[in-house]
Amino acid sequence: MISSAVKLRHLVLLGGGHAHIGVLRMLGMHPEPDLKVTLVSPSRETPYSGLLPGVVGGHSPEQDLYIDLGRLCQFAGADLVLATATAIDPGGSEIELRNRPNLAYDYLSIDVGIEPALTDLAEFDEALVPVKPIAGFMARFNLVYEQYRGGGAFAIVGAGAAGLELAFALNHRLGIKAEKNGLPKPVLYLCQAAAELLPEAPPRLRAKAKNALAAQGIQFQPQFRAVRQGAGQLASASGAVLEVDQVFWATGAAPQAFLQNSDLAGTPSGYIAVNAQLQSVSHPNVFAVGDAADMVEQARPKAGVYAVRQAPVLFKNLVRMHRGQSLIRFKPQQRVLSLIALGEQTALGYKGPFWGWGRSLWRLKRRIDYKFLDSFKNLPLMTPPSVSNGEALDPNMQCRGCGAKVASSILSEVLSELDPDGGRVLDDSAVLTPPAGELMIQSVDAFRPIIDDPYVLAKIAVVHAVSDIYAMGGRVGPIMVNLTLPYGSESITRSLLQQVMAGVLSQTKAEGGQLVGGHTAEGLELNITVSVTGWAPPDDIRTSRGTQLDDHLVLTKALGTGTLFAASMRGQAAPSWISHAVAMMLQSNRPAGALIAAPSVHAVTDVTGFGLAGHLQGMLAAGQGVDLILPHLPVLNGALTSLSELGVYSTAHDKNQRAATLVRTQDFSDPELLARQSLLFDPQTSGGLLISVAPDASQDLVARLKASGFDQAAVIGRITDQAGIAVSAGG
């Protein structure tokens, strides 16, 4: 979501927990134009814990469990950085991220959840499945369920509300599968260290819950403090031993290690200590919520309901701090409604001394869960503000031309920090001397934002730009970069420049190149232009012309970035589709470029903005044509669905189709073939190489490409003497 508002301060939301997704939704509804917001999360999706029993029990599909953080950030006008935090430096106001540069903040909010506490276990093996984090649990559960046929024994350690629900859900789901296979139901044990089940619940409800466990054949094991698991056994401190195939660990919680090692004040249990305003008691510009924090003035158990209710107060306090206003208190309710699903379509519920039981409570729980999920999945269309309400900067008043340059002091500091051994500060120009006996290859590409993460975007920009060099058989040499950074305060500009230049330097080194110069300026949005110089001996030079009759056409990467990112902008792309596309765009064509020097390779081009058809059309000599086999086209996950079911096309699609005059399209009755035909005109970002190779060498080339990491490389057609590009379903 691009806005011309000047960003004065940077808010970083660390973690995609229940409170933070609420803050993002409220930011979308009530934008703070001069506040730059970044969400840092290791995943594009976040699970909603309330629906987990329904998914495990088979009542809800797994896709319903997850909220799309990319879509939510787009709605909120926030950047999404996919990274794992490894440390926090509250004194320096920075977050340390794994395998990428630190991220600076003015305000920080932490909602990262917990880790399973396994300190009581003297030993355990791979048969132990922690329930937290939920994404990891679901991957393990799906594997267990896929392999399960019937019988066997399972233990759930932890008989709180979460463990109790899990026991009922597992018993229901596994029991159904066992019956379908004509085998006995599993034996389930529900173990806890305490003597009483749900001690906070009304006594009559506790008794009814125990009866329900017995009725479903679940064996309750009170005063069973697990101390050892492994080799098919679960042992307690008292010496009791259960023979089990799998153990699900649903008890105990520990703060994530990087939080315990920070300078943020903590409680004796290791969680971040916060006051009634949800602020760190030691660092006022840091907030913490959900399971990551302990409220020192009003202690409450770790429960998702509190995180959800913290969201409105957290949102208001973050905005109030930014505006210099006094903060408000979070007042947690004394009693909360607890609803516990019982495997089948029934549930129990209690709040204080009041309790109930039955199908109506199961329906109530389901309505509450889906109402919460729908509020994040069915987001209203919002028009972001286009002007800043900041008092320091106005983009309409900013200098232009050479007056729009980023301050040289910022650039010098960032470069010296990122590359201390890189030598002098980069100039706007560079003196180049071609290696003896080699020719110079030059290319330039400009890159507008396709994703919000500036570090990853910069890496993709370099991968995209250098592909032209590899397509011509060269190796990458000097690189120059021209950056336009959005108007912002000096601290925000510095932080953004650090992220972008770190990505440029990292990928430049990975490509074997050297950053020698560039230019920086300020504007309305981030723009990265990369100019690349390459070298190659004259005999190694390949061009897009030179295709020969009967040559096979080999494509190294899958198609579909145009439609996928168009769908992403509309909030219609699944997070897994975008993750797959980003991974493809980050894959360098360098290994493929090393394989095209063989005499059997006659012509090469890279597939980018003009689409496969446009670039292929440019390869053909007069009188030549192509037989293109549509089912052989490698396709990115979700691209065909985006085209055929969602009807989403890139804005460049129609222009590419009009320009590709040689393509003879067909009116296929098969929707998939029609979608594959449409992919011919889909503009690609950081796409693959299209190689015209002698027919007797094509399979060997594909095998070498696959061995080099191009898993979807394929022969997609052949050169003919029939003018035009003919498409077919093969056969």
Contacts of 731 (CB under 8 A, 6+ apart): none
Angle at 297 between CA 355 and CA 107, to 5 degrees: 110
What does DSSP assign to residue 666?
-
How many angstroms separate the Cα of 299 from the Cα of each of 223, 293, 334? Answer: 26, 10, 10
- At 268, which amino acid appears? P
Angle at 507 between CA 504 and CA 509, to 5 degrees: 105
CA of residue 308 relative to chain centroid, distance: 22
Q: Is the Cβ–Cβ distance between 196 and 222 less than 8 Å?
A: yes
For residue 523, which phi and psi values (nearest 5 degrees)? -160, -160
Q: Which residues are catalytic?
A: 402
Tokens (6 digits) for 537: 């001996």
The residue behind tokens 């890139």 is 650
- What would the DSSP string read from start to end of 122-172? SB--TTEEE--SHHHHHHHHHHHHHH--S--EEEEE--SHHHHHHHHHHHH
- What would the DSSP string read from start to end of 626-652? EEEEGGGS-B-TTHHHHHHTS----TT
How many angstroms separate the Cα of 20 from the Cα of each of 52, 62, 193, 321? Answer: 19, 22, 33, 17
Q: What is the 3-state secondary structure (H, E, C) of 573-599?
A: CCHHHHHHHHHHHHCCCHHHHCCCCCC
E-only strand ranges, 503-555: 514-523, 527-536, 552-555
Give the number of residues written for the chain. Answer: 731
How many angstroms separate the Cα of 389 from the Cα of each of 8, 23, 33, 496? Answer: 10, 20, 7, 21
Tokens (6 digits) for 196: 């009483």
Three-state secondary structure call for residue 342: strand
How many angstroms separate the Cα of 166 from the Cα of each of 51, 131, 456? Answer: 11, 9, 38
* Dist CA 82 CA 68 (whole Å): 13
The residue behind tokens 């004394």 is 334
Q: Is the peptide bond before 133 cis (omega within 30 degrees of 0)?
A: yes
* Dist CA 372 CA 368 (whole Å): 6
Q: Is the Cβ–Cβ distance between 547 and 635 less than 8 Å?
A: no
